[in-house]
């Protein structure tokens, strides 16, 4: 077979930025963005992004420069996803929930040339710039004012976003991607356990992630997408670019309050949204005043901890159809999607919830997902029981960690990306995460999955938050220790449940060796700014505690025991101060 | 931004073969293929393809060798789409409707090392091998016997397909694609106007076409796909590979008879099928004995000539939902898809048919589709009226024509692939094909789209086939000449309509300059083996005819004229002999 060379007609470097140009041609008059009273069409969005790219170049931004942004889900945040790479630069969206010192760390590490700041985050940005180490160059700052109702807030007399748009030249051709392996985005991990790492995405990886996620989630044409997931999370799980591919409408909201979510769904006919399971609680706990009728089914893609069955049932009864996914910054968002088989609809509700809580099958763009013993790199049996580390490989795995060869090399082993998560593969090929590898509790030689214990805890009617970590045990080495927050009554008071009632509930629902030997009640569990439970803090606490059995006299008769005063003494104070 | 190198974890050459390995892991127990009483799961299909690849290598097949196949839509044909590239070889599916001389031409040109032949096509293959030029090496032949009910037919004591499967080693690793630009398939154009050209697809192009088509046609999970489109047409518009990506069920049928189609839909719950519009007639004209109830909507993707509104309405009333596409071998199948907007459902039926008959918007994998004046390469205005040539560029355009540098260079101009088709772009970005560029009739300096005239002819209640070509005209240079076949009565007799009635119908429905000046009635229009009307034959005939007005005395009073005996004399004899 002869060589037939690539040419302009048959080879285009893959880049999700392409979707915008196409949208401007084939969805030109359709609505691209809705935010308060602002509406744009795809043609307008394209023009605005061309202007933005042109202005960025006028400001000296060039290939591979990092452009950072601190903003909620507003139109400018969406436009930056195209405008920045259209200037050849790399987009770095920063988690707005970080504190000033963290923001400064990221700005210094990324060597950002420019920082876009939404007007509400000007105080945070000011503080962050003060925290910048003297060795770091300070980025130029551009404020993004409220588009509907400008406040006039500026930083040090600097530029405002709309000035860049109006001053740009829409006829200046956008930067053309030469090599699809070039960087498009830099996203820092949230760093639950270590310093944040800068994950670099290529144009190719982002493009293929978009295609594969749209396909697996079944995003048809004309989606109306609600931005309930921050765009700073893996570029909105790549749906920023994805909406341009489908000619969808981006419904932007500044906060994920119940009122904003209900209103957006009702006013604009939202068809799709992504969110963490915690948003289900926001929706379900909405006051009557905040609610609007939901007339058509809303597809919801959710990640993170699998929502408990009861929560899943409630949210689906409210008009939402949930698809569960699993991912991480390093995999350009979702790496596994729990594709649903029609025949599962006939199973009992509890079994359906268990099926839905599984993380699912590999994203199409991945070559393979497996569960391995990472010492031998042997695959575990597909029996739904054998634990191993979840490993991935394929086109939507990051290029690597920015300026961090050590962690990059540690993450890639033998042609696989090691997720650090522990899971099993069921005989039907569906993967289920059992734990973060560091969260596995090894008790008497047995591996205990803390997620499994947490799942049982969540089934207790009074438990609203639960986390299980290892605590030291003189005989077994480690033993599970549970931290729980209880439901509140109508007056906002937390319910009271006795420790042994929780332990008994566990004994009735899991293998004996897995039962927590200690339950600690808290007002609220300590979390990161992105809502992840800070297990290392809990682990610190657990280290100082004693198993319940060691402070009671009749370990075999939980049912009859009175409330332990010793437990009360050990109760952790109000965790809001943590 | 530092360089971060590609590695096994984050870079995989794109290939649609990957979908099969993934399917074997994540859809392992789901049904992959149904054919008569044969059922396979995805795990079995993967194992069989590994065996096939292993046996092909034992037979000496190696990278870039061409493996040809002459077969209908049977399981082996499906398996060859994976097994051949899994041996590193290039698949060449041959149109089974070609005659022996044509098949011989393709075998010689492709330098096929191996030829797979379905038992029904053994006589054709035997003849073709006799036609091979003495300079060409004769390929080894492997018969594919009926899997359900073996006939024992073999060629010259050669191997049978199932022997390759059972003799292969499923543990032998499949060939790993090193460069995604390598060839995966060689498909010859049907050659309506010239010698067949060998279109080469890359692994990359095929992969991206699969993703983009599945997405745009909205193929969700668990599709049940009926093979009503020959797999030898652009590898079944890439849905061969596509079904592995979605874990779908391939329902294989040997012929596209009404009985087979209805039974498959009814027995297996078909959700998707592709076909030429002519299949709509097969479905609608089915005898009551061949019909089965259609309980759920079947999605149909159709290409080629836009189906007339009346036909579209009838087929949709029968339970099929039609999406119109446009493509060509060179674009790995569909290049444009007519995505439907929900708001169009509110338009009058006739307007809906007109919207649906448009070819639509670019396939997602294409960077761009445009309509240009190919002399200046300027884009035409997007006004729905300005004609130009349809040009494409992007990742699903072929690598080029095999051993045909001249035609490859002619097809690629200034970074675009020239389709040779003439169209317009509507203000909403939707493209509508008006004609093959060589089919445009230039009359008195005005371009006349023959498709436009044909569309009006089809609206006449008695017309079932229509084609319009240029005929010489002493005053206007060229003028349209219509060839039509009329409907038949219950006894199978063609209806009789007078020439002036047809001309009058045209005068009432189009601009005067476009009205055909001659109408020729035929039993049936001459067509290629793939059902394309042979316009060049009609053009030959038209060259010998005279305009109607020149053989009548009262050209201005069509309505009152009697039937012209001269016309009768000029009526072309039974075209079945053509």
| pLDDT tens sequence across A354-376 | 898 889 999 999 999 999 998 89
pLDDT tens-place string over residues B104-152: 999 999 999 999 999 999 999 999 999 999 998 999 999 999 999 999 9
Is A555 a residue whose pLDDT tops 60?
Answer: no
How confident is the model at residue A102, as a pLDDT?
A: 86
Instruction: Count other Cβ atoms within 10 Å, centred on residue A338.
Output: 24
Nearest to B64 among A1, A12, A25 (CB): A1
Is A40 a residue whose pLDDT tops 90?
Answer: yes
Cβ proximity of B225 and B243 under 8 Å: yes
Is B181 a residue whose pLDDT tops 60?
Answer: yes
- Using a CB-CB cut-off of 8 Å, the residues of chain B touching A8 are 393, 412, 414-416
- Using a CB-CB cut-off of 8 Å, the residues of chain A touching B109 are none
Q: How far apart are CA A133 and CA B138, in angstroms?
A: 75
Distances (CA, A) of B51 to B84, B171, B184, B247: 11, 8, 19, 20
The residue extents of the domains of chain B are 440-577
Which residue in B has a C-alpha nearest to residue A14's C-alpha?
B395
The mean pLDDT value for A216-223 works out to 92
Contact B14 A66 (CB under 8 A): no
The mean pLDDT value for A434-444 works out to 73
Radius of gyration in angstroms for the set of CA atoms belonging to chain B, rounded to a whole number: 25
How confident is the model at residue A282, as a pLDDT?
A: 87
How confident is the model at residue A193, as a pLDDT?
A: 47
Looking at the complex, report in whole angstroms how far the Cα of residue A138 sits from the nearest Cα belonging to chain B. Answer: 18
Contact B18 A362 (CB under 8 A): no
Can you list the pairs that A370-375 forms with residues at least 24 positions away whose Cβ atoms lie under 8 Å?
Answer: A370/A416, A370/A425, A371/A423, A371/A424, A371/A425, A371/A431, A372/A416, A374/A413, A374/A418
Nearest to B10 among A22, A211, A399 (CB): A399
Choose, out of B3, B4, B321, B427, the residue to mutate when testing the contact with A (most A CBs < 10 Å). Answer: B4
Contact B18 A367 (CB under 8 A): yes
Q: Which residue has the higher pLDDT, A559 or B57?
A: B57
Contact A216 B221 (CB under 8 A): yes
Q: Which CATH number does A440-577 carry?
A: 3.30.300.30
How confident is the model at residue B553, as a pLDDT?
A: 37
Which of A460-474, B103-117, B306-320 is least confident? B306-320
Whole-prediction pTM: 0.84
Contact A2 B403 (CB under 8 A): yes
Is B45 a residue whose pLDDT tops 80?
Answer: yes
- Using a CB-CB cut-off of 8 Å, the residues of chain B touching A6 are 181
The confidence band for B172, taking pLDDT boundaries of 50, 70 and 90, is: very high
The structure tokens listed for A224 are 């109306």
The confidence band for B334, taking pLDDT boundaries of 50, 70 and 90, is: very high
In total, the C-beta contacts within 8 angstroms joining chain A to chain B are 175
Contact B362 A220 (CB under 8 A): no
Nearest to A9 among B222, B362, B417 (CB): B417
Contact A211 B216 (CB under 8 A): no
DSSP labels, A215-270: HHHT--SS-EEE--S-TTTHHHHTHHHHHHHHT-EEE--SS--HHHHHHHHHHHT-
- Residue A468 belongs to what H/E stretch? strand A463-473
Residue A517: half-sphere exposure toward Cβ, Cα within 13 Å: 26
Looking at the complex, report in whole angstroms how far the Cα of residue B543 sits from the nearest Cα belonging to chain A. Answer: 37
At residue B315, φ and ψ (nearest 5 deg) are: -70, -35
- Using a CB-CB cut-off of 8 Å, the residues of chain A touching B18 are 367
Contact B22 A214 (CB under 8 A): no
The mean of the pLDDT values for chain B is 88
> Which ipTM did the prediction report?
0.83
- Using a CB-CB cut-off of 8 Å, the residues of chain B touching A339 are 221, 247
- Using a CB-CB cut-off of 8 Å, the residues of chain A touching B245 are 215, 364
- Using a CB-CB cut-off of 8 Å, the residues of chain A touching B220 are 218
Looking at the complex, report in whole angstroms how far the Cα of residue A468 sits from the nearest Cα belonging to chain B. Answer: 31
Contact A10 B399 (CB under 8 A): yes
Among A256-270, B312-326, B539-553, B560-574, which range has the highest average pLDDT? Answer: A256-270
- Using a CB-CB cut-off of 8 Å, the residues of chain A touching B412 are 7-10
The mean pLDDT value for A326-343 works out to 92
- Using a CB-CB cut-off of 8 Å, the residues of chain B touching A220 are 218
At residue A141, φ and ψ (nearest 5 deg) are: -115, 135
Is A253 a residue whose pLDDT tops 70?
Answer: yes
How confident is the model at residue B306, as a pLDDT?
A: 65
Looking at the complex, report in whole angstroms how far the Cα of residue B493 sits from the nearest Cα belonging to chain A. Answer: 46
Cβ proximity of A200 and A399 under 8 Å: yes
Distances (CA, A) of A349 to A180, A344, A357, B57: 45, 10, 12, 50
Nearest to B4 among A10, A14, A400 (CB): A400
The confidence band for B37, taking pLDDT boundaries of 50, 70 and 90, is: very high
Q: Which residue has the higher pLDDT, B196 or A87?
A: A87
The mean pLDDT value for A415-426 works out to 92
Which residue in A has a C-alpha nearest to residue B183's C-alpha?
A1
Looking at the complex, report in whole angstroms how far the Cα of residue A241 sits from the nearest Cα belonging to chain B. Answer: 13
Residue B230: half-sphere exposure toward Cβ, Cα within 13 Å: 18
Nearest to B214 among A215, A341, A430 (CB): A215
Which of A58-62, A109-113, B340-344 is least confident? B340-344
How confident is the model at residue A304, as a pLDDT?
A: 66
pLDDT tens-place string over residues B256-290: 999 999 999 999 999 999 998 778 888 998 999 99
Q: How far apart are CA B416 and CA B369, in angstroms?
A: 9
Contact B400 A341 (CB under 8 A): no
Contact B368 A394 (CB under 8 A): no
Choose, out of A5, A7, A9, the residue to mutate when testing the contact with B (most B CBs < 10 Å). Answer: A9
| Helix ranges restricted to H, A231-370 | 234-237, 239-246, 258-268, 278-284, 309-317, 349-356
Q: Is the four-CA dihedral B343, B346, B350, B356 of positive or negative sign?
A: positive
* Percent over 90 (pLDDT), chain A: 66
Is A551 a residue whose pLDDT tops 90?
Answer: no
């Amino acid at each position: 077979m002869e060589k037939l060379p690539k040419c302009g007609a048959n080879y285009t470097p893959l880049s999700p930025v392409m979707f915008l140009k196409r949208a401007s041609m084939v969805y030109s008059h359709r609505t691209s963005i809705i935010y308060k009273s602002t509406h744009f069409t795809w043609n307008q969005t394209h023009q605005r992004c061309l202007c933005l790219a042109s202005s960025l170049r006028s400001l000296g931004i060039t290939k591979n420069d990092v452009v950072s942004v601190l903003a909620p889900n507003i139109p400018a945040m969406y436009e930056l996803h195209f405008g920045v790479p259209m200037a050849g630069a790399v987009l770095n969206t920063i988690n707005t929930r970080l504190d000033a010192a963290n923001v400064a760390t990221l700005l210094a590490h990324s060597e950002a040339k420019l920082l876009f700041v939404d007007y509400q985050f000007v105080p945070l940005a000011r503080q962050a710039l003060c925290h910048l180490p003297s060795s770091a160059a300070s980025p130029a700052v551009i404020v993004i004012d409220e588009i509907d109702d400008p406040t006039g807030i500026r930083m040090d007399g600097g530029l405002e976003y709309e000035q860049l748009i109006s001053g740009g030249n829409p006829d200046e051709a956008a930067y053309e991607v030469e090599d699809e392996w070039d960087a498009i985005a830099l996203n820092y991990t949230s760093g639950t356990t270590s310093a944040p790492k800068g994950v670099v995405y290529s144009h190719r990886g982002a493009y293929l992630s978009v295609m594969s996620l749209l396909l697996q989630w079944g995003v048809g044409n004309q989606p109306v997408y609600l931005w309930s997931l921050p765009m700073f999370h893996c570029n909105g799980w790549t749906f920023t670019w994805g909406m341009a591919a489908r000619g969808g409408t981006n419904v932007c909201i500044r906060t994920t309050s119940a009122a904003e979510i209900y209103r957006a769904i009702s006013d604009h006919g939202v068809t799709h949204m992504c969110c963490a399971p915690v948003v289900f609680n926001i929706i379900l706990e909405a006051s009557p005043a905040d609610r609007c009728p939901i007339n058509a089914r809303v597809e919801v893609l959710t990640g993170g901890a699998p929502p408990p069955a009861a929560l899943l049932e409630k949210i689906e009864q409210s008009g939402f159809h949930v698809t569960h996914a699993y991912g991480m910054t390093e995999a350009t968002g979702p790496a596994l999607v729990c594709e649903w088989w029609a025949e599962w609809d006939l199973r009992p509700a509890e079994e359906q919830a268990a099926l839905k809580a599984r993380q699912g099958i590999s994203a199409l763009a991945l070559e393979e997902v497996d569960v391995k013993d990472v010492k031998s790199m042997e695959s575990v049996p597909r029996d739904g029981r054998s634990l191993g580390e979840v490993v991935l490989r394929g086109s939507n795995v990051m290029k690597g960690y920015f300026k961090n060869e050590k962690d990059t090399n540690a993450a890639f082993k033998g042609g696989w990306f090691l997720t650090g998560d522990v899971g099993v593969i069921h005989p039907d090929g569906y993967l289920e995460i059992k734990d973060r590898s560091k969260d596995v509790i090894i008790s008497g030689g047995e591996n205990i999955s803390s997620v499994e214990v947490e799942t049982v805890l969540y089934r207790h009617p009074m438990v609203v938050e639960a986390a299980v970590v290892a605590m030291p045990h003189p005989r077994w080495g480690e033993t599970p220790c549970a931290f729980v927050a209880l439901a509140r009554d109508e007056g906002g008071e937390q319910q009271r449940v006795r420790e042994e009632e929780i332990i008994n509930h566990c004994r009735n629902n899991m293998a004996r060796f897995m039962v927590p030997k200690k339950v600690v009640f808290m007002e609220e569990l300590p979390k990161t700014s992105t809502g992840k439970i800070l297990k290392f803090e809990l682990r610190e606490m657990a280290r100082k505690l004693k198993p319940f059995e060691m402070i009671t006299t009749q370990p075999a008769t939980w049912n009859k025991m009175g409330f332990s005063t010793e437990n009360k003494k050990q109760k952790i104070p109000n965790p809001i101060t943590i």
